[in-house]
Amino acid sequence: MLIRRASSIKPSEITSHDLFLRRREFLRGAGWAVAGAALAPTLACGAEDEARPPAPVAGADANPFRTDETPTALEDATRYNNFYEFGTDKSDPQRHAGSLRTRPWSVAITGEVAKPGTIDLDALLRPHTPEERIYRLRCVEAWSMVIPWLGIPLAEIIKRFEPSSNARYVAFRTLLDPEQMPGQRSRVLDWPYVEGLRIDEAMHPLTILATGMYGQVLPNQNGAPLRLVVPWKYGFKSIKSIVEIRLTRSEPPTSWNRQAPREYGFFANVNPDVDHPRWSQKRERRIGEFKKRATLPFNGYADQVAALYRGIDLRKYF
């Protein structure tokens, strides 16, 4: 999925609003419930899905975050997940994340800001109507999905707390509560899950805090009630169920970099030219497709984000 400037998008390449309205009807018809929904068994990575979404329909729409790529089937996006707080198997989050209570929920904004504070999620949403944007997420394990997210640009939230000139990075932290998140009773990762971005990455308009997907509230297994989406980076940067956003002077630790520094760097920009130590990053399988496709630099968002990394050796800083 590519995000292009509005002026460069042909009407035939834009997914119409009608498609999204019809998707909602489809979801309602299927009786899909949000958090903790009981869905049928997991599909394996790359397996052919049966319930395909409707093909995109051409139409005029000025939203530059729309694309002509066909969204991944909802069933795949909600049954094939990584969320180690609920188990390490791809099907565990869908089966176990129902134990997470997503209300009340607050997020602390701390560190290098003039006005640190805690915001209640509903209060945060009240002045906002989350925007719908379709982004492709690419995982290191060489599969990708195209998801219509509902979210709020992270920059809008950070700006409210008035970052100081010392704020060079943004650190994120997931809830730590082994009672609600049974996977945290095992030592598979160093809990809580943490992630980080450089401040310019965090303030980029492509970066959102997602509160929903496919026109509905975010299912628990996908990171309810609030998760990060950074579409030009590998999926592990998309930290779920966030309770703290901290602005910092120095580079914050990240869970997967701490776990396996040779395999997972801080930047984690999608880069077909840098192999993962155990496999190539050159090709990927779109969930729902059989034939592999070439992986694009920055996951197809090079026009928008390559300038952030000018002068940086991305083979060294992967």
Q: Which residues bind ligand MTE (CB under 6 A)?
A: 81-85, 139, 174, 193, 222-223, 235-236, 238-241
> How far separated are the first and last CA of the chain, in Å rounded?
21
Q: What angle do CA 41, 230, 245 make, to 5 degrees?
A: 100
Give the Å distances, CA to CA, from 284 to 47, 81, 142, 154, 292. 13, 17, 5, 28, 5
Least separation, in Å, of the C-beta of 6 and ligand MTE? Answer: 27
User: What is the rounded CA–CA span in Å between residue 217 and residue 227?
Assistant: 12
Least separation, in Å, of the C-beta of 74 and ligand MTE? Answer: 12
**If you search the block for the tokens 């290098």, which residue do you land on?**
112
**If you search the block for the tokens 């709020």, which residue do you land on?**
152
- CA-nearest of 172, 173, 150, 152 to 219 is 150
User: What is the rounded CA–CA span in Å between residue 216 and residue 33?
Assistant: 9
Quick one: 256 or 301, whose CB is closer to ligand MTE? 256
User: What is the rounded CA–CA span in Å between residue 205 and residue 103?
Assistant: 27
Contacts of 1 (CB under 8 A, 6+ apart): 67, 69, 134, 135, 136, 146, 231, 299, 300
Least separation, in Å, of the C-beta of 301 and ligand MTE? Answer: 17
**Pairing, β 283-286 against β 143-153:** parallel
